[in-house]
């Protein structure tokens, strides 16, 4: 027996979410149907709201509800110190450290030919435009240490260095509380490379 059409539609849409298979989608759909009507409407309007009010910041391309975003508006943050990250969630992670006082640039992905993502599909051209306007003193490449993140950092370094910008890459090394003998050789080698005086 098939479900009535509105339920089928709901299941189908939910199943498009990452990590949600047909079974989970069904469970979620019935959960939504059983919850108080007001709560379901709150969820629906939260989705619509987020979609209509959130856009890219015209400077850093992070998600924002006001353009420029709160970080790019903040005069206390150094506009000539730019950190390039893959995703908006990376901005949140870095902000939690309270260590970085510059501004961000969000690429929205990393180079991955397998998935059909090249530099043109990322906010690279936007980064170049922005750099001509702010003349940065340092660009920190903080893409992830995945293969795609590394390749993206190499690509950007190759692009930016000839323009005489100071380009740096965040360090890789031991996690806090990590045991040396459980660490893979590549991480150890990087940690040794990045050693410093005490």
Partner 1 sequence: MALQVIDLSHFRNISRAHVELSPQLTLLVGANGQGKTNVLESIYLLLQGRDFRTSSEREAIQNGEAVLWLQGAGEIQDRPQTWQHRVQREPVKRFHRGIVVPTVLFSPDDVYLAKGSPERRRRFLDLLLSAHDAHYARSLRAFHRVLLQRNRAFKESSWQGIIDDFTPLLIREGLYLWKRRLETVTALIPKAAEIHAAVAPRETLSGVLKFGGSDEPIVDEAGYRRVIDSRRAEERVRQMTLVGPHRDDVVLTLNGMDTSVYASQGQLRTLALSLKLATYHWLLEETGIKPIILLDDVLSELDAARRQAILETVSQPGQQTIVTDTEPRSYAALNPRILTVEQGEVQAWTNPV
Binding site for partner 1 (CB under 8 A): 21, 111-114, 118-120, 147-148, 150-152, 154-155, 158, 184-186
Bridge partners for 63 per DSSP: 56
Q: Shortest distance, CB of residue 184 to partner 1, whole angstroms?
A: 5
> For residue 105, with 0-12 CB atoms within 10 Å meaning exposed, 13-18 middle and 19 or more buried, which class applies?
buried
Q: Shortest distance, CB of residue 166 to partner 1, whole angstroms?
A: 20
Q: Shortest distance, CB of residue 135 to partner 1, whole angstroms?
A: 25
Nearest residue (CB) to partner 1, 1 versus 114: 114
Could you tell me which of 145, 133, 125, 135 has the C-alpha nearest to residue 166? 135
User: Can you tell me the distance from the alpha carbon of 102 to that of 97, in angstroms, rounded to the nearest whole number?
Assistant: 13
Nearest residue (CB) to partner 1, 20 versus 40: 20
Q: Shortest distance, CB of residue 161 to partner 1, whole angstroms?
A: 13
Nearest residue (CB) to partner 1, 81 versus 165: 165
User: Can you tell me the distance from the alpha carbon of 165 to that of 185, in angstroms, rounded to the nearest whole number?
Assistant: 32
């Amino acid at each position: 027996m098939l479900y009535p059409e509105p339920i089928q539609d709901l299941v189908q849409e939910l199943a498009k979410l990452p990590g949600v298979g047909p079974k989970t989608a069904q469970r979620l759909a019935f959960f939504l149907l059983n919850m108080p009507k007001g709560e379901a409407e709150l969820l629906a309007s939260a989705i619509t709201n987020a979609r209509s009010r959130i856009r890219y910041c015209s400077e850093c391309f992070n998600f924002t509800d006001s353009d420029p975003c709160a970080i790019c508006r903040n005069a206390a943050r150094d506009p000539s110190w730019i950190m390039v990250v893959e995703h908006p969630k990376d901005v949140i992670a870095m902000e939690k450290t309270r260590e970085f006082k510059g501004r961000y640039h969000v690429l929205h992905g990393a180079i991955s030919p397998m998935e059909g993502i090249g530099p043109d599909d990322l906010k690279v051209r936007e980064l170049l435009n922005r750099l001509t306007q702010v003349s940065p003193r340092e660009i920190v490449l903080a893409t992830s240490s995945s293969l795609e993140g590394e390749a993206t950092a190499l690509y950007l370094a190759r692009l930016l260095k000839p323009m005489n910008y100071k380009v740096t890459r965040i360090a890789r090394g031991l996690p806090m509380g990590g045991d040396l003998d459980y660490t893979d050789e590549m991480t150890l080698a990087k940690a040794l490379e990045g050693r410093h005086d005490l």
